Amino acid sequence: METVERDDSRLEMERELMDMGVGYWKSRALNYVMEDNIAKHLQNGPRSAFLIANEIGVNPEFLYRVMRALSTQGIFKEEEEYGVFSQSPKSAILCENDWVNGVIFESEDFAYRSWFSFRESIKSGKSMGPKSIGYDSFWDIVEKNPSYGAVFREGMTVFTNHIIHTILNETDFSPFETIADLGGSQGVLLLSILKKLPSVKKGINFDLPSTIDNNKLLVSEREAQHSSTTLSRFTEVSGSFFDSVPQADCYILKMILHDWSDEKCVSILTTVSKCMKPNSKVYIFDAIIDSKNQPNYKVWLDLHMLHHVDGKERSRKEWGELASLAGFQVVEITPFSEKYSRSTGKIVLSKSA
Ligand SMILES: C[S@@+](CC[C@H](N)C(=O)[O-])C[C@H]1O[C@@H](n2cnc3c(N)ncnc32)[C@H](O)[C@@H]1O
């Protein structure tokens, strides 16, 4: 048989293609160690995988092999002594509940199972993920599975906490007296705005009834983190942004419109348009697709939104088209200085004249 000589760059490309093809091996192994909190067992120093396995009731040899595989990605460090691992900088991050909740949300079973039907979405042009696992939509999964709902809300708070500082530094909310965060989830962004700007008299966190009900569990956490002057200006209202929203000077839609098709986004913006004052502004914090042929996390997120949520990440042009379809004009589209976030930019709208 003739042997083909391969240069290094060809071998590297083959390696990368294979790595992508088997990406689910890494995703599933990472998801497993996060779900079983394996990194926390190394917080006080190196430990044997076999002893950890016995403590948590899993197969010792299999756990060893999972940790060995992950150590090749810098998650755990395999020591000289057989079966013993120590904490690495990456596995130490897995001990921070804050961050892990975000990664768990994206790698957990509903999302993974939903991706089995990816090809069906591409063929049909419809978002088939949730339907293929027996649900009407992503929101149906959230409503019917309370523990998944909790993972979702925690995940959103993680993603928002990562970008709050940038949003506050690069957005001027000072002209507004009343700010409504539509789909504000656990309210962390709005509370930070109220804390920073005493001139904002009222913040309304608006979300679905199930979310606002769940937020009642956050009362003591909020009291520990915020002063009574901040909390006294914060209110929560439940409802649907397809029906009606409270009146406000500024509406925040953060990681909301990327959840929905253009048609649904026009419905949401039309509701806002009906309820707003003539001079109110809409602040959208979402991705702005702005490059081609470059590594770009946002276009991968776009595929997940396409298949699992029936949503979309948008370019500047697409944001402009969406705004005008809903009777708005774009005041500003500005990318944030922080690039590795989901809401990498702000799109500010006002009602068209
Ligand atoms: C992707 S999360 C974004 C949460 C938050 N804005 C953030 O950036 O962290 C979408 C939010 O929209 C809420 N939501 C979904 N459908 C809604 C509706 N019809 N009316 C109001 N809120 C809704 C969800 O409950 C969830 O809190």
Residue 4, pLDDT score: 67
Task: Compute the distance from residue 320 Cα to the ligand 1 centre, in Å.
Answer: 22
Q: Is the CB–ligand 1 distance for residue 152 below 6 Å?
A: no
Q: Is the CB–ligand 1 distance for residue 188 below 6 Å?
A: no
Q: Is the CB–ligand 1 distance for residue 160 below 6 Å?
A: yes
Residues 192-219, mean pLDDT to the nearest whole number: 97
Residues 306-323, mean pLDDT to the nearest whole number: 97
Q: Is the CB–ligand 1 distance for residue 311 below 6 Å?
A: no
Angle at 130 between CA 148 and CA 258, to 5 degrees: 80
**180 pLDDT higher than 80:** yes
Within 13 Å of residue 189, how many CA atoms lie on the same side as its CB?
33
**343 pLDDT higher than 80:** no
Task: Compute the distance from residue 222 Cα to the ligand 1 centre, in Å.
Answer: 19
Residues 321-341, mean pLDDT to the nearest whole number: 92
Residue 98, pLDDT score: 77
Task: Compute the distance from residue 212 Cα to the ligand 1 centre, in Å.
Answer: 11
User: What is the average pLDDT value for the chain, to the nearest integer?
Assistant: 95
Q: How confident is the model at residue 111 (pLDDT cuts 50, 70, 90)?
A: very high
Catalytic residue list contains 258: yes
**323 pLDDT higher than 80:** yes
Residues 137-154, mean pLDDT to the nearest whole number: 95
With a threshold of 0.90, does the pTM exceed it?
A: yes
Residues 6 or more apart in contact with residue 342 via CB below 8 angstroms:
159, 163, 255, 258, 286, 287, 298, 301
- Catalytic position from the list 41, 258, 307, 308: 258
Q: What is the pLDDT of residues 226-241, one digit of tens each?
A: 999 999 999 999 999 9
Residues 20-42, mean pLDDT to the nearest whole number: 97
Give 117-122 contacts, CB < 8 A, sequence gap 24+: 117/307, 118/307, 121/306, 121/307
Residue 216, pLDDT score: 96
Nearest CA to ligand 1 atom 3: 255
Q: Is the CB–ligand 1 distance for residue 256 below 6 Å?
A: yes
Q: Is the CB–ligand 1 distance for residue 242 below 6 Å?
A: yes
Alpha carbon of 64 to those of 32, 79, 82: distances in Å?
13, 12, 10
Task: Compute the distance from residue 6 Cα to the ligand 1 centre, in Å.
Answer: 51
**1 pLDDT higher than 80:** no
First to last CA, the chain: 73
